[in-house]
Amino acid sequence: MATIASLNPRERLLMGPGPSTVPQRILQAIGAPTLGHLDPQYIEYLDETCQMLREVYQTENLLTFPVSGTGMAGMEAVVVNLVEPGDEVIVCINGVFGGRMKDNMERAGATVHALEVPWGETFSQEEIAAAVQKHPRAKLLGIVHAETSTGAHQDLTGLAEILHDAKMLLAVDAVTSLGGHELKVDAWGIDAVYSGTQKCLACPPGLSPVSFSPRAIEKMDARKSKVQSWYLDVSLLKNYYMGGAGRAYHHTAPINMVYALREALTIVLEEGLENRVARHREMHLLLRGGLERLGLEYIPQKSLYTLNCVSVPNGIDEAAIRRQLLTDYDIEIGGGLGIFAGKAWRIGLMGHSATRRNINTLLSAIERCLEIK
């Protein structure tokens, strides 16, 4: 048998669109002894994790739990449970992940009415109200709170009133906002929301926290057809996550990832949600000032704190700069997606990565790379 090299990855400064840097506390938690997924001790840890998720999501929704899989598993869980073949839905598209939501809706058999604005822009209440009026048979509107492909930050306040008056549900992608931006599930009337562990929660990738409102549960309970996915069928999963003493086996839970998420949420709540959002805002402003002093321009009018998308100057090979940052400085940033491929850099400021030291290190490295070019 050939000798296999030891696992010894280089440490990188992770300032791309995800994953973000994972603190040692979380890495230590993931290495705790593995228990059975029905072990009473593990169930206690799981219940604590779900309760902390409610606190971070700012919701009383009982059906709040971590889906086994990354953020896209959360997207698919929301879609396949709330959408049946023949349903009409509205999907707001201003980047890659709005488009991905549309694709998932179509795969679930829905007729999708796409509401689109140019990439980097966001949607007004008036635009959404007009779409609701135009498509009164729609059962749901899907929208991205934090569009990771463009760095656009969508205001969600007031949308639920428009939708609920029309008997529609509000489904939200919060993959790059949970734990880094203000996100008030109950106060904003969000009916279904999903996120990922590897962004602002500073946890390894592998789980997708979701939450469903009583309105969403009512829609699921009234289904006329089976959920398209057995693995993501919430009518089955809730018997495990909400089963109390008699909880039923569904699939083997990723035990150690739940340990990691539990520790990540503990860190979030120790810092405090308001303080954490304020830190991300402060670090965004620091980074933005430095990038603009280097002559770099932001693409979105309303930028996320957590994902900063800037245009690459004319004559610069954006991929070459990213390679140089990685090879010479061990710093990872992201390139553009879709129509911004080759034209943008995406710089993440999420969780443990959002610090002054990291920002100053990155700015110095970018300045040096641009001088050389």
> Is residue 182 assigned to a domain?
yes
Please name which of 74, 321, 93, 109 lies closest in space to residue 209, comparing C-alpha atoms: 74
> Is residue 6 assigned to a domain?
no
**Residue 153 in tokens:** 């930050």
Which run of H or E residues covers position 193?
A: strand 192-194
pLDDT tens column, 22-45: 999 999 999 999 999 999 999 999
**Do residues 222 and 168 share a domain?**
yes
**Do residues 69 and 34 share a domain?**
yes
**Do residues 227 and 351 share a domain?**
no
**Do residues 134 and 253 share a domain?**
yes
Residue 185, domain CATH: 3.40.640.10
Predicted confidence at residue 4, as pLDDT, reads: 85
> Is residue 7 assigned to a domain?
no
**Do residues 147 and 210 share a domain?**
yes
Contact 325, 12 (CB under 8 A): no
Contact 107, 255 (CB under 8 A): no
**Do residues 57 and 85 share a domain?**
yes
CA distance 284 to 277: 11
Contact 194, 70 (CB under 8 A): no
- Kindly state the average pLDDT of the residues 365-372: 92
Contact 283, 349 (CB under 8 A): yes
> Is residue 368 assigned to a domain?
yes
CA distance 167 to 137: 9
> Is residue 1 assigned to a domain?
no
Amino acid at position 364, single letter: S
pLDDT tens column, 307-359: 999 999 999 999 999 999 999 999 999 999 999 999 999 999 999 999 999 99
CA distance 312 to 219: 45
**Residue 117 in tokens:** 């604005």
Predicted confidence at residue 209, as pLDDT, reads: 98
pLDDT tens column, 271-297: 999 999 999 999 999 999 999 999 999
Please name which of 4, 364, 367, 30 lies closest in space to residue 197, comparing C-alpha atoms: 30
- Mark which of 269, 296, 324 sits at the end of a domain: 269
The model carries a pTM of 0.96
- Mark which of 227, 248, 269 sits at the end of a domain: 269
Tell me the percentage of the chain whose pLDDT exceeds 90.
95
> Is residue 247 assigned to a domain?
yes
CA distance 365 to 329: 7
Contact 88, 111 (CB under 8 A): yes
**Do residues 110 and 147 share a domain?**
yes
Q: In the chain, how many domains are there?
A: 2
At 240, give phi and psi (nearest 5°): -95, -50
Burial class of 31 by CB neighbour count within 10 A (0 to 12, 13 to 18, 19+): exposed
**Do residues 111 and 176 share a domain?**
yes
> Is residue 58 assigned to a domain?
yes
Which run of H or E residues covers position 369?
A: helix 356-372
- Mark which of 269, 303, 321 sits at the end of a domain: 269
pLDDT tens column, 190-219: 999 999 999 999 999 999 999 999 999 999
Predicted confidence at residue 373, as pLDDT, reads: 58
**Do residues 78 and 44 share a domain?**
yes
**Residue 147 in tokens:** 């569009």
Cα 75 to chain centroid distance, Å, stands at 9
**Do residues 293 and 191 share a domain?**
no
Range of 291's domain? 13-17+273-372
pLDDT tens column, 131-183: 999 999 999 999 999 999 999 999 999 999 999 999 999 999 999 999 999 99
Helix/strand/coil for 22: coil
**Residue 316 in tokens:** 């610069």
Predicted confidence at residue 183, as pLDDT, reads: 98
Amino acid at position 16, single letter: G
**Do residues 36 and 146 share a domain?**
yes
**Do residues 304 and 191 share a domain?**
no
Residue 345, domain CATH: 3.90.1150.10
- The full DSSP string for 77-115 is HHHHHH--TT-EEEEEESSHHHHHHHHHHHHTT-EEEEE
